[in-house]
């Protein structure tokens, strides 16, 4: 007797929920491994016996992996998302254990490179997996749930690393992250279904860059890349100077700046939750456009926030909530641009976003020194405006709807090549 397809899907649903929950935990580990070096740079400088500038070089190498990860998107589309996710967790575990066992600068450098590369491989793979398995009309909820891991790293992961460093020394986080990554890989390997046979025939052995030629021919894909570059660049123009702005305007302490960071973490969590509960109802494209529009307004109002610390923290909260909502919702939207090459699309977006953040970080200090918070707000708003225009042009023919077939008829197929 044949089991109906609907019953099979219902039977698999609990397993998929546990798979997503485990993936969130694994992404918290990857995000923590990428971010925890920032607040504890002086501690690692002393532990390794190197100047602080050498530790900032570790951070730069870690961030550079977002561009290197560009080349692994087509690999994920060809050999399977599950395989690449497990490989990325293996990289993280190996790197963390190596750094803990051999605490010398060169090994830590390699460890953080592997951690960053693992994240740059894992993120496109899991988001592509969601795009493949979750209907379009539920995509925002699924991606929003996954992206809780970003806020989780700042609200849970980094405080845990601080506790470990304070109680067991600066090497302890490496051992704990390595062990948890290994355990996460085992559990995820058990829960994730086997990869479906890939049908992206245009991705041939030895011709992985062919996927990017297809991407460059797709109007929506190009709009997404330009949007990711300018939107993330705008955020870093403000992010790199917000501490200096608060210190200059209110003469606050380091502890108060720490509270500001916590405000950002809570705002990111709320933004991710808003994506999960609102974006599918509004429509993904409309949600991204609305989020970008509100973000432009927030940047323009930055000078008005300097009159009160409470108002400044409130403004920062609203700003990062809308930024996170827009970014996470846009990821859900991007998973449907090239259904046959989802990981390639997400990897390209991550690379564009990473380059945008580099450009924003380099621009932010210059703008701040030239015109203070008023100039920062204007330039960030202008960057976001360019991003919004690119999105509207790129997605001008995009039908953002949720048909009865669960979104399948929505798809704009990749051109043949």
Chain mean pLDDT for the chain: 82
Supply the DSSP string of 2-37, one letter for each residue.
Answer: PPPHHHHHHHHHHHHHHHHHHHHHHHHHHHHHHHTT
Instruction: Count the Cβ atoms, other than its own, within 10 Å of residue 317.
Output: 17
Residue 15 shares a structural domain with residue 131: yes
Say if residue 53 is exposed, middle or buried (CB neighbours under 10 Å; 0-12, 13-18, 19+).
Answer: exposed
Residue 2 forms part of a structural domain:
no
Is 284 within the bounds of a domain?
Answer: yes
Which of 139, 164, 191 is at the close of a domain? 191
My answer on whether 113 and 225 are in the same domain is no
Residue 200 inside a domain? The answer is no
How far CA 73 is from CA of 27, 76, 116, 228, 314, in Å, comes to 17, 5, 15, 17, 38
* The CA-based dihedral angle spanning residues 346, 293, 261, 67, taken in that order and rounded to the nearest 10 degrees: 20
Q: Read off the CATH number of the domain in which 113 is found.
A: 1.20.1250.20
* pLDDT for the residue 56: 66
Q: Is residue 6 part of a domain?
A: no
Confidence class of residue 405 from pLDDT cuts 50, 70 and 90?
very low
Listed residue (380, 286, 383) closest to 326, CA to CA: 286
Q: Domain boundary residue among 191, 220, 250?
A: 191
Q: What is the pLDDT of residues 57-77, one digit of tens each?
A: 776 677 677 778 777 887 887
Q: pLDDT tens, 247-305?
A: 788 877 655 666 666 788 888 889 888 888 888 888 899 999 999 999 999 999 999 99
Shared domain for 219 and 291, answered yes or no, is: yes
Tell me the C-alpha distance between 404 and 416, whole Å.
27
CB 350 within 8 A of CB 116: no
Please give the share of the chain, as a percent, with pLDDT higher than 90: 32
In terms of residues, how long is the chain? 417
Same domain flag for 150 and 230: no
- 191, 225, 246 — which closes off a domain? 191
Structural domain harbouring 282? 210-410
Interval 379-399: pLDDT, tens: 999 999 999 999 999 998 876
Q: Is residue 196 situated within a structural domain?
A: no
Same domain, 254 and 375: yes
DSSP 415: P
- Do 225 and 134 reside in the same domain of the chain? no
In a domain, 366, yes or no: yes
pLDDT in tens, 181-203: 999 999 999 988 877 655 444 44
Here the tokens at position 235 are 């955020």
**Residue 214, SS3?**
helix
In this structure, are 244 and 280 located in the same domain?
yes
Are 15 and 67 members of one domain?
A: yes
Tell me: do 221 and 348 sit in the same domain.
yes
> Domain check: are 215 and 167 in the same one?
no
d(CA 22, CA 20): 5
Is residue 406 scored above 50 in pLDDT?
no
Residue 417 located in a structural domain? no
Residue 161 and residue 173 in contact, taking contact as beta carbons nearer than 8 Å: yes
- The secondary structure of 252-276 as a DSSP string is --HHHHHHHHHHHHHHHHHHHHHII
Whether 234 and 376 have beta carbons less than 8 Å apart is answered as: no
Total number of domains constituting the chain:
2
- Specify whether 246 is located in the same domain as 283: yes
Residue 248 is assigned to a structural domain of this protein:
yes
> Both 266 and 382 in a single domain?
yes
């Amino acid at each position: 007797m044949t089991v109906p397809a609907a019953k099979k899907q219902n039977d698999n649903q609990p397993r998929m929920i546990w798979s997503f929950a485990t993936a969130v935990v694994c992404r918290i580990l990857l995000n923590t491994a990428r971010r925890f070096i920032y607040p504890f740079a002086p501690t690692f400088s002393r532990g390794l016996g190197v100047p602080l500038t050498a530790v900032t070089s570790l951070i730069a190498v870690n961030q550079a992996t977002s561009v290197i990860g560009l080349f692994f998107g087509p690999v994920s589309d060809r050999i399977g998302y599950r395989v690449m996710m497990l490989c990325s967790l293996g990289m993280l575990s190996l790197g963390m254990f190596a750094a803990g066992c051999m605490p010398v600068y060169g090994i830590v450098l390699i460890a953080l490179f592997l951690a960053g590369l693992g994240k740059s491989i894992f993120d496109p793979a899991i988001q592509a997996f969601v795009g493949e398995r979750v209907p379009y009309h539920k995509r925002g909820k699924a991606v929003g749930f996954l992206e809780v891991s970003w806020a989780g790293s700042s609200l849970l992961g980094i405080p845990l690393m601080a506790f470990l460093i304070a109680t067991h020394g600066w090497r302890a986080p490496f051992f704990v992250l390595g062990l948890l990554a290994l355990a996460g890989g085992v559990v995820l390997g058990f829960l994730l279904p086997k990869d479906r046979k890939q049908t992206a025939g245009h991705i041939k052995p030895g011709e992985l860059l062919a996927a990017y030629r297809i991407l460059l021919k797709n109007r929506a894909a190009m709009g997404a890349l330009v949007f990711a570059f300018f939107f993330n660049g705008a955020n870093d123009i403000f992010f790199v100077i917000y501490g200096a702005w608060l210190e200059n305007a209110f003469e606050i302490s380091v502890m108060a700046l720490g509270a500001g960071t916590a405000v950002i973490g809570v705002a990111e969590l709320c933004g991710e939750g808003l994506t999960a509960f609102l974006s599918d109802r509004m429509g993904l494209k409309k949600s991204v456009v609305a989020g970008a529009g509100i973000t432009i307004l927030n940047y323009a109002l930055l000078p008005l926030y300097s009159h009160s610390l409470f108002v400044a923290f409130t403004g920062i909260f609203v700003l990062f909530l809308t930024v996170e909502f827009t970014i996470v919702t846009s990821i859900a939207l991007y998973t449907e641009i090239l259904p046959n090459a989802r990981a390639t699309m997400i990897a390209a977006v991550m690379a564009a976003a990473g380059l945008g953040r580099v450009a924003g970080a380099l621009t932010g200090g210059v703008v701040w020194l030239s015109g203070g918070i008023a100039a920062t707000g204007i330039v960030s708003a202008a960057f976001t405006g360019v991003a919004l225009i690119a999105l509207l042009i790129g997605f001008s023919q995009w039908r953002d709807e949720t048909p009865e077939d669960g979104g399948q008829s929505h798809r704009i197929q990749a051109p043949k090549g």
